[in-house]
Amino acid sequence: MSFPWANEYKPSHPLMQWLDDRLPLPRFVYNAVGAGYPVPRNLNYMWNFGVLAGFALVLQIVTGVVLAMHYAANDKVAFDSVEHIMRDVNWGWMLRYAHANGASMFFIVVYTHIFRGFFYSSYKAPREMIWLLGVVIFLLMMATAFMGYVLPWGQMSFWGAKVITGLFSAIPLVGPPLQEWLLGGFAPDNAALNRFFSLHFLLPFVILGVIILHVWALHIPGSSNPTGVEVKQESDTVPFHPYYTAKDGFGLGVFLMLYCALVFFAPNLLGHPDNYIPANPLSTPAHIVPEWYFWPFYAILRAFTSDFMFIPAKLMGVLAMFSAILVWFFLPWLDTSPVRSGHYRPLFRKFFYLLVVDVLVLGYCGGAPAAEPYVMISQIASMYYFLHFLVILPVVSSIETPQPLPFSITEAVLGKDEHAALAPATPAVA
Amino acid sequence: MVRLFGPLVGLFFAVALLWSFGNGAYNAATQPTPPTAEALFHMHPKEVAFSFDGAFGTFDKQQLQRGFKVYQEVCSNCHSLKQVAFRDLTALGYKEAEVKAIAKNWGNKAQTFDPKTGDRGERPNLPSDHFPPVYYAGQGAPPDLSLIAKSRHGGAQYIHALLTGYVDQAGYKNEAGEELLKKFPDAKTPDGLYFNPYFANLNLAMPAPLVSDGQVTYSDGTPATVDQMAKDVAAFLTWTAEPKLDKRKQTGWPVLLFLLAATALAYLAKRNVWADKH
């Protein structure tokens, strides 16, 4: 679907006409990310992050495929093969640092993209499916990143794999056999390393497939926008190209500068020194921590320190950690306010900022040693996390009085819209 | 359904967390965890400036050669360097003939194995060989030093601090003026270990390797004080861990400058495209 005023693809060159009649791929691109896709004219820079996430995925696939040409997925030589890449492969050090920091940049971009969705309620009807697919992409990203971190077969790789697969052993009855089945052994070893490599290579392409569905679903209702008011007329939109290609080009430049600053000047800033020690099953690191992008969820996992009723603390932690993400699937039905944008929801906005701080606190505690005061802080912060999504959001939606919305996107941008005078009284809900 | 069960699930997790929090707070109040000797007496590395610090820093080849000499004469008796090849030493400014000689004269020989006879043997190292393994007679294996600078918090500063940080445990006080053995009489260093407050758990199996000035004879005239030798070998081990450091920074600046220009152009292009839409 598109708006009736969308530009139509008209190939002028005979070759392009010939192609359009047989395989209208240029038409498809034109309608998807070209001049044929009308987009709200008021998108702010928070709307750059979808394109940036797609770019980050391509970057990971390109660097990853080349790294895979030099890497050996065998527990005897994996660590040394990574050092071989760092020392003897032409520009291997750059590829590896680009891939490792590319993962961090991917998560920075995707977290911003997700929180953009939280603030502007991008998950609300008619965009629920875009949101649901997005959560699936995030889950796949987490699995891919986790398995990628295991591949260098350093200390944190090994012990991270042991801890994370150990989570499955908390499941009653089937837990321990399930963990053995996942690892192909009683502890991470060559079998686990090989299957993680195989899946780490496969999953990015699965992500790519789900991204295609995500963008397809996006093109049904069209992009949301900072006012949350739906597109009503042609003056509310601009063609994606050149307006948003130009804007995304600038955003991409800023992204690349930050990324290259990391790769070339602080490549190990976001990593853990222990992963430069070869995996040793007989020596447990003092503090086992995952990569920074898992810290908030790791804090939730570790916050459950006491058995609750008949449920062991470990199982509670595992349930809570998975629920912390699964709860996002239910957001479209938990937040019932008819107004989308946080700009017009004063009470919601306060809780949103509280959530941002809460997740940052959780992240900090997740990276800190499992000792006081971090455990107690993460218990309070985890409590807020669950209450925010499952209790506060539904309550706020029903008691809050939203501020009046602009009549249209045009009015929001230009301050006036001649169509507004002709329309009936401004509805509170768009 | 979601609006009925959602809050119930939320409250369930919240109550479970409150329960954990209450238990934790009760335990903290009734049985406070006493601070450990490591927590109170472990020292963070001393601040030392190195030529490769910062975004513009590069390796000092003279220093790397001195550090290599310290590794050769002192560290290599127990510690291997298996990720590094002799040929890599050309990056330190050695000529190919010098590298050949260093490889040939290296104390530990390259190991050979003849699959036809099953005989194991030795031959002199070649520039293409990696540094050979070190057989250590004592207990445990001293860590390989190839990546030591990247696998420890503090990197080169940590190595320098550790090598110069050995002190007599008797009467040792921390910055707060507390005396270790008075506060923790049980923390006395066991036989066979050596006290060093820069080491994570205060005692390590390695005796002080750099003990006297002039222990290594420098050929470039630099006074070989213990502090200088520690700095030099820390720099050398930073090179073994990150041999492409210079290349990385040299590449980074043009890349960033190009991106800066490209981003500025992209910004102007964006302004131009949007001029009639604001």
- Alpha-carbon distance of A287 to A269, in angstroms, equals 17
Dist. CA B162–CA B173, nearest whole Å: 17
- A430 pLDDT higher than 50: no
Per-residue pLDDT tens digits for B37-49: 888 899 999 999 9
With cut-offs at 50, 70 and 90, classify the pLDDT of residue B4.
confident
* Rounded-to-integer distance, Cα A341 and Cα B178, Å: 58
Quickly list DSSP for A348-399.
HHHHHHHHHHHHHHHHHHHHS-S-TTHHHHHHHHHHHHHHIIIIIHHHHHHH
Residue found by looking up tokens 């080849």 in the block: B61
Q: Does residue B88 sit at the A interface (CB-CB below 8 Å)?
A: yes
Helix (H) or strand (E) segment spanning residue B160 = helix B155-164
Q: Which residues contact A286 (CB under 8 A, 6 or more apart)?
A: A369, B200
Q: pLDDT at residue A1 above 60?
A: no
Dihedral-angle region of residue B234 (phi above 0 means left; psi in -120 to 50 means alpha; beta otherwise): alpha
Confidence band for B174, pLDDT divided at 50, 70 and 90: confident
DSSP B111: E
Rounded Cα distance, B266 and A250, in Å: 5
- How does pLDDT run across A4-38, given as a tens digit for each residue? 999 999 999 999 999 999 999 999 999 999 999 99
pLDDT digit string, tens, across residues A318-333: 999 999 999 999 999 9
Please say if the pLDDT value at position A422 is more than 80.
no
pLDDT at A424 over 70: no
d(CA B208, CA B75): 11
Q: Chain A residues with CB inside 8 Å of B28's CB?
A: 372, 376
* Mean local confidence (pLDDT), B246-250: 97
Contact between B21 and A286 using a beta-carbon 8 Å cutoff? no
Residues of chain B contacting A387 with CB distance shorter than 8 Å: 10-11, 14
Residues of chain A found within 8 Å of residue B58, distances taken between Cβ atoms: none
- Name the region of A238 (left: φ>0; alpha: ψ -120 to 50; beta: rest): beta
Pairing of strands A237-239, A38-40: antiparallel
For A80, nearest residue in chain B (alpha carbons): B83
Average pLDDT, chain A: 94
Model confidence, pTM: 0.94
B118 burial level (CB within 10 Å; 0-12, 13-18, 19+): exposed
CB contact under 8 A, B19 and A333: no
Q: Which residues, 6 or more positions from B158, have their beta carbon under 8 angstroms from its beta carbon?
A: B45, B152, B198
- Separation between Cα atoms, residue A302 and residue B24, nearest integer Å: 12
Cβ separation A249–B269 shorter than 8 A: yes
Distance CA A170, CA A318 (A): 7
pLDDT digits (tens, 9 = 90+) for A259-289: 999 999 999 999 999 999 999 999 999 899 9
What is the C-alpha separation between A235 and A413, in angstroms, rounded?
10
Determine whether B176 is exposed, middle or buried from the number of CB atoms within 10 Å of its CB (0-12, 13-18, 19+).
exposed
Beta carbons within 10 angstroms of residue A124's beta carbon: 21
Sign, CA torsion A376/A378/A384/A386 = negative
- A223-248 tens-digit pLDDT: 999 999 999 999 999 999 999 999 99
* Neighbour count for residue A156 (Cβ, 10 Å): 25
Interchain contact, A390 vs B274, CB within 8 Å: no
- How far apart CA B224 and CA B237 sit, in angstroms, is 18
**CB neighbours (10 Å) of residue A104?**
19
Say yes or no to pLDDT of A390 above 50.
yes
Distance from CA of B272 to the nearest CA of A (A): 9
Paired tokens of B158: 């940590």
**Closest C-alpha to B64, from B83, B86, B92:** B92
pLDDT (0 to 100) of residue A185: 92
Q: Give the E-state strand segments of A123-252 in sequence order.
A: 237-239
Which of A347-361, B109-123, B245-259 comes out lowest in average pLDDT? B109-123
Min Cα–Cα distance to chain A from B47, Å: 19
CA neighbours within 13 Å on the CB side: how many for A121? 27
Region B220-235: mean pLDDT is 96
Predicted pLDDT at A194: 96
Question: Does the pLDDT of residue B206 top 80, yes or no?
Answer: yes
In which band, very low, low, confident or very high, does the pLDDT at A293 lie, cut at 50, 70 and 90?
A: very high
Which residues, 6+ apart, have CB-to-CB distance to A363 below 8 Å?
A292, A295, A296, A299
Residue percentage of chain A with pLDDT more than 70: 97
Residues of A whose CB is below 8 A from B256 = 257, 260-261, 264
Residue of A nearest to B200 (CA): A286
Q: What is the mean pLDDT of residues B26-31?
A: 90
The pLDDT value recorded for residue A425 is: 54
- Tell me how far apart the alpha carbons of residues B223 and B201 are, in angstroms, rounded to a whole number: 32
C-beta of residue B54 within 8 angstroms of C-beta of residue B172: no
Give the model's pLDDT for residue A372.
81
Q: Do the Cβ atoms of B24 and A274 come within 8 Å?
A: no
A114-171 pLDDT, tens digit per residue, is 999 999 999 999 999 999 999 999 999 999 999 999 999 999 999 999 999 999 999 8
Mean pLDDT of B141-146: 93
Is A247 within 8 Å of chain B by CB? yes
Separation CA B10–CA B13 (nearest Å)? 5
A247 to chain B: closest CA residue: B270
Angstrom distances, CA of residue A357 to CA of A26, A165, A309, A382, B3: 44, 29, 31, 12, 25
Residue B186: per-residue pLDDT: 86
- Across the A:B interface, residue pairs with CB atoms under 8 Å apart total 166
CA distance A223 to A232: 13
Residue A317 scores a pLDDT above 50: yes
Q: Does A394 touch chain B (CB under 8 A)?
A: yes
Residue B105 has pLDDT above 50, yes or no: yes
Q: Which helix (H) or strand (E) holds B195?
A: strand B194-195
Give the nearest chain B residue to A376 (CA atoms): B21
Torsional sign, CA A293, A294, A300, A303: negative
- Asked if B83 lies within 8 A of A267 by C-beta distance, the reply is no
Question: Is the bond preceding A126 in cis, omega lying within 30 degrees of 0?
Answer: yes
Interface of B with A in 221-250 (CB under 8 A): 241, 243-244, 247-249
- Does residue A181 register a pLDDT over 70? yes
Q: DSSP letter at A266?
A: -
Mean pLDDT of B134-153: 90
Distance CA A366, CA A388 (A): 19
Q: How far is B96 from chain A (nearest CA, A)?
A: 18
Q: What is the pLDDT of residues B74-85, one digit of tens each?
A: 999 999 999 999
In terms of CA atoms, which chain B residue is nearest residue A84?
B83
CA distance B40 to B45: 15
**CB contact (8 A) between residue A372 and residue B19:** no
Closest among A397, A409, A44 to A230, alpha carbons compared: A409
Q: Does A243 contact B274 at a Cβ distance shorter than 8 Å?
A: yes
> How many Å apart are CA A47 and CA A39, to the nearest integer?
11
List active site positions of A.
219, 223, 247-248, 291
Q: Is A326 on the interface with B (CB under 8 A)?
A: no
Q: Are B239 and B92 in contact (CB under 8 A)?
A: yes
Tokens 């007989």, located at residue: A282
How far apart, in whole angstroms, are the C-alpha atoms of residue B129 and residue A37? 60
